[in-house]
Amino acid sequence: MEEHELIRQALRGDHAALSQLLQLHYDFVYKYLLKITMHPAMAEDLTQETMIKSIEKISLYKEKSSKFSSWLMTIATRLYIDQGRRRKREKLWQEEQQSLRYMQWQAGNQHEDWPDVLNALSELSEDSRIPLILKHYYGYTYEEIGSILAIAEGTAKSRVHHALKQVRKELG
């Protein structure tokens, strides 16, 4: 059966046609992902995710606007980029945790207390932690905090409020 006919049937809800269509393109997508990831297991995982996403989103495919293979490549590329962003965030989180443990260790070696409030602050996102510290440790006004962080004064006030609420909850 021709690809165009498989696409039409898949768009009408024919699962067998969609399965056949994806089988036709599986190696193509895998080889593409292998070239951009340079990692066979990652390429395999992303290919699987691409196939799943294409099954979920087949109704959004517009035959007139792009080739089916281009549509799959778009999905695969976006999944790869998203995975890279996730890995970057995870690496940053791990570095923050390692730094926090080092600071705690250093305080212990210098026979200093590590206040519970610092643990509570470490649980906050940067977006919340920075305005809270600027307000309550350094005494800046909400207007000044907004200026420093390039956010609205109301946003600064809101972030401080929610951060305080979370810190209070953490400290019990």
What's the one-letter identity of residue 3?
Answer: E
pLDDT band at residue 43 using 50, 70 and 90 as cut-offs: very high
Residues 172 and 122: their CA atoms lie apart, in Å, by 16
DSSP 110: T
**pLDDT tens figures, 14-42:** 999 999 999 999 999 999 999 999 999 99
Residues 42 and 80: their CA atoms lie apart, in Å, by 9
> Distance between the two ends of the chain, CA-based, in angstroms?
66
Give the residue with greater pLDDT, 136 vs 29: 29
Give residue 92's pLDDT.
85
99-113: average pLDDT: 73
Give the residue with greater pLDDT, 40 vs 112: 40
Of all residues in the chain, the percent with pLDDT exceeding 70 is 97
Q: What is the pTM of this model?
A: 0.59
**pLDDT tens figures, 152-166:** 999 999 999 999 999
If you average pLDDT over every residue of the chain, what do you get?
Answer: 89
